[in-house]
Structure formats: C-alpha cells, structure tokens
A and B are shown apart, each in its own frame.
Chain A
Amino acid sequence: MTAPRTTPVPTTAALALGDDALVLSHRLGEWAGHAPVLEEEVALANIALDLLGQARVLLSMVGDEDELAYLREERSFRNLQLVEQPNGDFAHTIARQLYFSTYQHLLYTELAAGDGLFAGLATKAVKEVAYHRDHAEQWTLRIGDGTESSRERMLRATAALWRFTGEMFQPVEGLDVDPSALEAAWLDAVGGVLRRATLTVPEGPRSGAWTAGAGRQGVHTEPFGRMLAEMQYLHRSHPGASW
C-alpha cells in the first residue's frame, strides 16, 4: 500500500478480506490438472492467482504473510465459510464463485470509491474481480441453460451453498463499508443471473444461528481443518526456514 498509514490497520477487517482471498485461491488451485477443458485450466488458475495476490497484500498489511498463512490454526482464520467449501463438481465451484465474486465485486467497488485503508488495494483488485464475476456468470448461464443434466447439477450446487451466503453481510470490524448495505444489490444481481440461467433462486435459509458470522469469528466447517493441514504441513515441518 502506498498511502501513508495515519491510522493503524484494522486487523480484523484485513484478515477477513485476506483470508477470504487466500482460502478461495487455495481451493481453486486444487483444480490444476483436473479442469473440464484446457481453457478452464487457464481461467481457474488465473482467478486463483489474482486472489492470492490480493491475499498477500492484505495479510502483509497485518504482519508477515507466511506466518499468517502457515502458522495460524483453524480458529484464528477469519474467512467466510463459503470460500472454504470443497470444490465439489464444476457446478459447485461455479456456484461458490458466483456467490463470492458478486459479493466481492460489490464490496470492492464501494471500498475503491472511499478513501479508507483498503481503497488502494480495492481499486486495483476490483478490475480482477469484475472478470471473476463475469466468468462465473457466463458459466452459470451455460450450465443452467445447457443440458437437462447440467441444469440439475447447477440447481443442486446453488441450493447446497445457499446456506453460506448470509454470512457475507455480517458486519466486519474496521471495514469502511457495512456489508449489510450490499445485501439487496447482491440478491438482485445473483437472482437475475439465476433466472437468466433458467434456474430458481434457492428457498432455504441463507444462514441460521449455526452459521451467522461464524467464519468471521473463527468457527469453521469440518473440511477447513484438513485443507489447512495440507496447506501448512511443509512450512510447519521446517520451523524458521526460508524458501
């Protein structure tokens, strides 16, 4: 960040945004060598790299990026439960990306328009995120309005992940933007894409007492611990080493 720091970096907010990007980037990295077409090998890796770049800037605002990524345990991560969900099939990956990129695009647009500590990062990242959102929307349309079986898969994926979407609009301490103000625009945008894709907007709860704000408080879902075990094992096996 080039802006002089006149106020301390809001740790909770920087970790929330940084962990979202770090964890989703990791999940997308798991696709390498497994994508349905070569073009998607390129696209998914591209999105993963953009997110990893954002994570590195955000974590570095708080401390050492590698210490934060590799030496915290599950309960100290502040990412949304949505982004830690396993890749599932391609429809699940796209549904997760649609939900998250739409949210991130709205959030970063607001942050970029302000003059807070995240404005610089958001101004650069919002261009990347606009591309991620477009990619997810285009695939939602193709899978939803493709074949009968692809439509079934997209319906299952959008429904399965719906329960994790409410958490995105919980307040985050130290963030210049109140995420709850983005909720109506998010519902409108995602609903519009789903309808154009001939899909229905899922009906279940978008969060309950069991998930509301949980990831942001360091309470995660079961797959997350295993993801971290894999991500951190090598770094932790060689304490103090440089790579």
Chain B
Amino acid sequence: MATAAAHQTYGAEKAGADTTAYERAFDAAVAADERIEPRDWMPDAYRATLVRQMAQHAHSEIIGMQPEANWITRAPSLRRKAILMAKVQDEAGHGLYLYSAAETLGTSREELLDKLHAGRQKYSSIFNYPTLTWADVGAIGWLVDGAAITNQVPLCRCSYGPYARAMIRICKEESFHQRQGYELLLALSRGTAEQHAMAQDAVDRWWWPSLMMFGPPDDESAHSAQSMTWKIKRHSNDELRQRFVDICVPQAESLGLTLPDPDLKWNEERQHYDFGPIDWTEFKEVLKGNGPCNEQRLTQRRRAHEEGAWVREAAAAYAAKHNDITGAMQA
C-alpha cells in the first residue's frame, strides 16, 4: 500500500523533504484508487485543475438557479410550484457543498465568486439558454439534469475525497430532480394538444445544448488525458455523451416525444445509437459569452451580489460588535 508515504501532510514538504518522493507516493495512491485528502501532498497542477473544475461546478449550480427560478412565480399548480421551489433550493445547497469542497484546496468562496463575477471562471454553457415556456422546466429536469448525472456519477469515485463525497450527496438529489422533470413532461405530453406541443417544443430546443454539456469531442478536449490519469475523470466526453443518448432515446419514446435529430438510429453493430453532428460553432460562441443569456445571467448574479453587499457588511459588523462584547466579558 502506498498510504503511509502519500498521506504525509502537505506542510511536511516545506520542511525540505524530497518532492519526487511525494510525487511517487501520490501517483501510487491514485493508482491504488485511494482518496487524496486535503492535508495530503498533491501536485500543484492537480490542485489547480480541481479548483477550476469544482469552482465551475459550484458556479453552474448558482447560475443554474436562474433559468428555473424564472418560472417559480408562474408555476401552473401549487404542487408543481412546491417541487420547483424545493429544486432551486437544493441547487443553492449544492453550490454551498461544492464551494466548501473547493475551499479544502486553499481557496475561498469569496475569491471564487469574485472570479465568476469578473468572467474569469466559467459555468456550464447550458444555463445560457432561456426558459421560454413552462415545459422548459421539465426539459431541464429530464435532459439537463440527466446529462449532469451522467457526467457526475463517475465523479463519486473521483480521486479527490471531498469532491467525491460532495458528489455522492448531490447525485442523490439530482436523480430525484431528473425524475420529477421527466414526470412533468409526461403530464404535458399526455395532456391537451397545446400542452403536448409545448413539451415537444421544449425538447426540440434543449436536446442539442444538453449534448454539448459533455464538452468538446475527445480529440479536442484539452484537459481530458491528464484528468483521466489523475482519476478526476473516469470516462471520455464522447463516451459519456454516447451513454446519455442511449439512455434518452427509449425515454423519449415512452414520453411520446421525438428527439430533433434525423440521423438518430440504432446501430446493431455498435450496439449504440448513432446520432447527428453537433454544432460546435454554436457551442464555442456560447462559451465565448455570445449565447442567448450569457449577459443576462452574469448581470443578475453580479447585481444580487452587489445589492446584497450591505447585508453582508451588516452581518459582519454585528458579529464583530458582539464578539467584542464576549471578548470584553471574558477579559
């Protein structure tokens, strides 16, 4: 077992120990499928990759509240309204878990939020699409949460312990949301002709952006190889995308809805569904900030943060005063 050497504390390195010995121990721990913990030594690039990925993941939860919160005040029944409110609340909770997990790597929530607001860290491209009808809430649950789960379930075995543990909790709630989204679409699909059309329109608009959530094709994915060696990532983008398509096709059939891809068909030889080409130009434009809602999402996030500044300052001032009182009483 590599444990003893790998789990030396991070600080020990500063005492002049041999870095390459730590590297060997780290590599051995990863190879043995052991979890790396916050106080363990880790390569700087591993730390930086994790901070980038976890921050982006946390930001996606926070920005991802917006397209759905857009429908809370217009939800068509009290039951659906309660489900949607609970879901948006869960997303805020997921953001909190993920910022806490990222903080174990030596960054802070404030720092990460500042980077998000400055446009220096990204969030999932999918949340730059608008929710135009109630059915979009269902399409997000079924497709967007479905794609997120396909991506995230392997992260429950990620080599970094705090991230893996956060993902176990998050995936449980996400699969619940995904079923609720599916059930919402099913109700619409089986409802009136107008409701059915609303559901189909939403699936037509969300299908391709959902496939883009798996990232660029394998031959263009910059971080993939290293992340797979480090066991941050367990499957390639294209593998996960294929898995998602294979899951969705029969689900769409049972929903009574079609997927907007004329090339979609079962390939007996591959035992997978073939599907049409993705518009990577659109994907790149959205990533560059030119999607339908990039400006709106970031502006709302910045505004909430700026308008809330006085509240955070008040809480800090109150805490300082009352700690002083406690301090004075103890003195």
Interface residues of A (CB under 8 A from B): 22, 26, 29-30, 32-42, 45-46, 48-49, 52-53, 55-56, 59, 65-66, 69-70, 89-90, 141-143, 145-147, 149-150, 153, 230-231, 233-235, 238, 241-243
Q: Indicate which residue in A41, A143, A145, A150 contacts B89 across the interface (CB closer than 8 Å).
A: A41
Residues in B whose Cβ lies below 8 Å from that of A238: 76, 192, 194-195
Expressed in whole angstroms, the Cα–Cα distance for A7 and B78 within the complex equals 27
Main secondary structure of the interface of B (DSSP, over half): helix
- A55→B308 contact, CB < 8 A: no
Residues in B whose Cβ lies below 8 Å from that of A59: 78
**What is the chain B residue whose CB lies nearest that of A151?**
B314
A92–chain B nearest beta-carbon distance, Å? 12
Within B24-74, the residues touching A (CB, 8 Å) are 62, 65-66, 69, 72-74
- A33→B76 contact, CB < 8 A: no
**What is the chain B residue whose CB lies nearest that of A30?**
B73
- A41→B65 contact, CB < 8 A: yes
- A243→B89 contact, CB < 8 A: no
Q: Answer whether A150 and B311 are a contact pair too, CB < 8 Å, given A35-B304, A41-B92, A52-B81.
A: yes
Expressed in whole angstroms, the Cα–Cα distance for A55 and B79 within the complex equals 11
- B300→A243 contact, CB < 8 A: no
Residues in B whose Cβ lies below 8 Å from that of A89: 307
Residues in A whose Cβ lies below 8 Å from that of B303: 34
B286–chain A nearest beta-carbon distance, Å? 20
Q: Indicate which residue in A29, A38, A147, A230 contacts B62 across the interface (CB closer than 8 Å).
A: A38
Residues in B whose Cβ lies below 8 Å from that of A52: 78, 81-82, 85
Q: Does B95 contact A (CB under 8 A)?
A: yes
- A233→B74 contact, CB < 8 A: yes
- A243→B80 contact, CB < 8 A: yes
Expressed in whole angstroms, the Cα–Cα distance for A231 and B77 within the complex equals 10
Interface residues of B (CB under 8 A from A): 62, 65-66, 69, 72-82, 85-86, 88-89, 92-93, 95-96, 99, 134, 184, 187-188, 191-192, 194-195, 300, 303-305, 307-318, 321
- A33→B93 contact, CB < 8 A: no
Residues in B whose Cβ lies below 8 Å from that of A53: 82
- A36→B78 contact, CB < 8 A: no
- B321→A145 contact, CB < 8 A: yes
- B310→A32 contact, CB < 8 A: no
Residues in A whose Cβ lies below 8 Å from that of B188: 243
Residues in B whose Cβ lies below 8 Å from that of A30: 72-73
- B134→A234 contact, CB < 8 A: yes
Residues in A whose Cβ lies below 8 Å from that of B300: 33-34
- A32→B85 contact, CB < 8 A: yes
Residues in B whose Cβ lies below 8 Å from that of A37: 308, 311-312
Expressed in whole angstroms, the Cα–Cα distance for A37 and B309 within the complex equals 9
Expressed in whole angstroms, the Cα–Cα distance for A52 and B134 within the complex equals 20
B295–chain A nearest beta-carbon distance, Å? 16
Expressed in whole angstroms, the Cα–Cα distance for A181 and B311 within the complex equals 35
Residues in A whose Cβ lies below 8 Å from that of B79: 56, 243
- A230→B85 contact, CB < 8 A: no
Expressed in whole angstroms, the Cα–Cα distance for A30 and B134 within the complex equals 16
**What is the chain B residue whose CB lies nearest that of A153?**
B310
Expressed in whole angstroms, the Cα–Cα distance for A34 and B136 within the complex equals 21
Residues in B whose Cβ lies below 8 Å from that of A33: 65-66, 69, 88, 300, 304
Given A30-B73, A142-B318, A147-B313, 17 extra CB contacts under 8 A: A22-B78, A32-B88, A34-B307, A36-B312, A37-B312, A42-B96, A45-B89, A52-B81, A56-B82, A69-B78, A146-B317, A147-B317, A150-B311, A150-B317, A238-B76, A241-B195, A243-B77
**What is the chain B residue whose CB lies nearest that of A41?**
B92
Expressed in whole angstroms, the Cα–Cα distance for A161 and B309 within the complex equals 23
Q: Answer whether A49 and B82 are a contact pair too, CB < 8 Å, given A33-B300, A150-B310.
A: yes
**What is the chain B residue whose CB lies nearest that of A49?**
B85
Q: Give 21 CB contacts A-B under 8 Å.
A: A22-B78, A29-B85, A30-B73, A33-B65, A33-B66, A33-B69, A36-B308, A36-B312, A39-B96, A42-B92, A45-B88, A45-B92, A52-B78, A52-B81, A53-B82, A55-B78, A70-B76, A146-B314, A147-B314, A150-B313, A243-B80
Interface centre among A32, A33, A66, by most chain B C-beta atoms within 10 angstroms, is A33
